[in-house]
Amino acid sequence: MRVPVAITPDNPLLSEPSQPADRSLAIDDNCTQVRAINCMTAPDQVSKFVRLSLSPNTRRAYLSDIDHFAGWGGVIPSSAETVARYLADCAGTLRIATLKRRLASITKAHAAIGAPTPVSDEIVRATLRGIRRSRSVPRKEAKPLLREELFAVLDGMGTATRDVRDRALLLIGFAGGFRRSELVGLDHADIEPVRQGIVIHLRRSKTDQAGEGRRVGIPHGRTRHGPVQALDRWITLSCRTRGPLFSPITRGGSVGAERLSGEAVSVIVKRRVAAVGIDPNSYSGHSLRAGFATSAAQIGVPSWKIRAQTGHASDAMLAHYIRIGEIFVENPAGILL
């Protein structure tokens, strides 16, 4: 027997208040472990904090994924065989990244009702591995903007308002190993001058759903391209001491009051590398973060120090950049030839 359960604010882990109340997902009432989280009977403060445990964008993504699973015929709780069939049926139309996100959402749906997740079962994991191998398509990723390339870009820039802003944005993004969302999310109030440089108070990031924040140190630097000096010039020129740190600039050179978008960071990176004769097609806003990690690995900086700057959750998450950065370190071919 199936009992339709509305995906509404009653279940804050999977709901978005603006969504229609008639959306439902079949719940198998034979499962003795079902414990639906019902905020209608929970204290208002409990309901509020459970909703705040995930960002609005994350809740919307979970809701969309579960809707898709339900539309296919899935139920919560589900068996591992059912989830494996779901993956197989969607293999021809969805990207690997989308399939992995759908599995994460199915896991969250099971956790929300206290049911064990089928996603960790070997049949599900093997099905996903098989789909990945059948694609045989290299993962598309942003090319790292390495230190030498960044310096070439900066050397080619002028002194106009847009140049001053872009120089500060590129250097702060690189020095902090920031994601583009973290970079454009910075406010003037997040910058704390100290003797060694500045401390940036990162209030929230992709891997910080709890909003605990972290502090990132940006030194003055020892080269002609100091990130702190570049940021000081931008702040002085923009005549702003509050609000967004990086803002759009009009054609006339005026600084806007709104926040620069994450997509604008990618546009700036592409435009600036193209200006010095580098093919921009493989670069994006992530190239600054990747470039910092890879450049640091190339000169032998320990992985834990790189991770402390970038905020990667583990060495495993950072390992890709480390491998690229160290590929020519003590390379035996370089010794033999």
- Tally of domains within the chain: 2
Among residues 107, 135, 163, the one where a domain terminates is: 135
Same domain, 208 and 125: no
Same domain, 184 and 299: yes
pTM above 0.75, yes or no: no
Lowest mean pLDDT among 123-137, 174-188, 244-258: 123-137
Q: Model confidence at 33, in pLDDT bands (50, 70, 90)?
A: very low
Residue 206 maps to a domain: yes
Same domain, 113 and 169: no
Region 122-142: mean pLDDT is 83
Same domain, 171 and 129: no
pLDDT of 3 strictly over 50:
no
Please tell me the predicted confidence (pLDDT) of residue 139: 60
Q: Is 157 left (phi over 0), alpha (psi -120 to 50) or beta?
A: beta
pLDDT of 31 strictly over 80:
no
Active-site option among 51, 143, 289, 307: 289
Residue 337 maps to a domain: no
Please tell me the predicted confidence (pLDDT) of residue 53: 64
Q: Are 50 and 210 in contact (CB under 8 A)?
A: no
Q: What are residue 183's phi and psi, to 5 degrees?
A: -65, -50
Q: How far apart are CA 110 and CA 39, in angstroms?
A: 17
Active-site option among 179, 215, 271, 305: 179
Rounded-to-10 torsion of CA 205, 310, 235, 187: 10
pLDDT of 103 strictly over 50:
yes
Q: Are 14 and 59 in contact (CB under 8 A)?
A: yes
CATH number, residue 156 = 1.10.443.10
Strand partners, 244: 187
Please tell me the predicted confidence (pLDDT) of residue 135: 77
pLDDT of 30 strictly over 90:
no
Residue 332 maps to a domain: no
Same domain, 260 and 302: yes
Residue 258 maps to a domain: yes
Lowest mean pLDDT among 62-76, 98-112, 200-214: 200-214
Same domain, 155 and 125: no
Active-site option among 102, 110, 167, 312: 312
Same domain, 153 and 14: no
Same domain, 172 and 237: yes
pLDDT of 333 strictly over 80:
no
- More confident: 335 or 170: 170
Q: Are 68 and 98 in contact (CB under 8 A)?
A: no
Please tell me the predicted confidence (pLDDT) of residue 209: 54
Per the structure, the complete domain to which residue 48 belongs is given by 2-135
Q: Cβ of 218: how many Cβ atoms within 10 Å?
A: 21
Same domain, 130 and 153: no
CATH number, residue 51 = 1.10.150.130
Lowest mean pLDDT among 7-11, 94-98, 241-245, 330-334: 7-11
Per residue in 269-311, pLDDT (tens digit) is 999 999 999 999 999 999 999 999 999 988 888 888 988 898 8
Among residues 135, 166, 193, the one where a domain terminates is: 135
Residue 289 is a catalytic residue: yes
Residue 312 is a catalytic residue: yes
Residue 206 is a catalytic residue: yes
Residue 335 maps to a domain: no
Active-site option among 135, 188, 206, 220: 206
Q: Model confidence at 5, in pLDDT bands (50, 70, 90)?
A: very low
Residue 218 maps to a domain: yes
Same domain, 292 and 166: yes
Work out the angle between the directed axes of helices 287-298 and 147-155 (0-180°, nearest 10): 120
The mean pLDDT value of the chain amounts to 82
Give which of 279, 284, 283, 282 is closest to 262, Cα–Cα.
284
Q: How far apart are CA 242 and CA 257, in angstroms?
A: 10
Half-sphere exposure for 252 (CA within 13 Å, toward CB): 2
Residue 188 is a catalytic residue: no
Same domain, 73 and 201: no
pLDDT of 59 strictly over 90:
no
Region 136-163: mean pLDDT is 88
Same domain, 177 and 256: yes
Q: Model confidence at 51, in pLDDT bands (50, 70, 90)?
A: low
